[in-house]
């Protein structure tokens, strides 16, 4: 079975993860800091590293459930809608994650959006699994 919708979103997210990694790695090189954030702490580097880490904490598990939904015949429209919304949420989070502004709207949209979309996707996945188990 092919899962082209998951492949499309996973490919985009892979490129975005590389972008975030490049931003952190290139800044690390410019700052001359191999590990951690330097002395005194380089908060700009810490932000870049945290953006990348946060992405890697949330997107992979989402994509696993997302792909399982597609394999099990879930709604294509559902997948496109939550996939597009997660793209928006993750970009907003990367823009809004700031050490000096916890309440940045991008951070709120990104964090809340990612959590809500993961919850909705997991719920839909459980619903599909439950229906398959009852057959």
C-alpha–C-alpha distance, residues 83 and 90, integer Å: 11
C-alpha–C-alpha distance, residues 30 and 10, integer Å: 30
Q: Report residue 108 as tokens.
A: 């709120």
Query: What are the tens digits of pLDDT across the range 113-135?
Result: 999 999 999 999 999 999 999 97
Query: What are the tens digits of pLDDT across the range 48-60?
Result: 999 999 999 999 9
As a three-state string, the secondary structure of 32-67 is: CCCCCCCCCCCHHHHHHHHHHHHHHHHHHHHHHHHH
Specify the CATH number for the domain of residue 119.
1.20.120.550
Region 23-45: mean pLDDT is 84
Total number of domains in the chain = 1
Query: What are the tens digits of pLDDT across the range 85-121?
Result: 999 999 999 999 999 999 999 999 999 999 999 999 9
Which residues form the domain of 118? 4-134
Neighbouring residues of 30: CB distance < 8 A, sequence distance ≥ 6: none
């Amino acid at each position: 079975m092919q899962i082209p919708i998951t492949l499309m979103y996973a490919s985009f997210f892979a490129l975005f993860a590389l972008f975030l990694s490049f931003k952190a790695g290139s800044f690390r090189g410019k700052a001359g800091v191999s590990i951690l954030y330097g002395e005194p702490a380089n908060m700009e580097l810490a932000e870049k590293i945290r953006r990348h880490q946060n992405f890697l904490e949330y997107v992979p598990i989402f994509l696993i459930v997302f792909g399982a939904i597609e394999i099990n015949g879930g709604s294509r429209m559902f997948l496109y809608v939550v996939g597009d919304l997660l793209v928006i949420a993750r970009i907003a989070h990367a823009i809004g994650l700031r050490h000096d502004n916890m309440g940045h709207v991008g951070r709120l949209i990104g964090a809340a959006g990612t959590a809500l979309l993961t919850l909705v996707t997991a719920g839909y996945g459980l619903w599909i699994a439950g229906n398959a188990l009852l057959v």
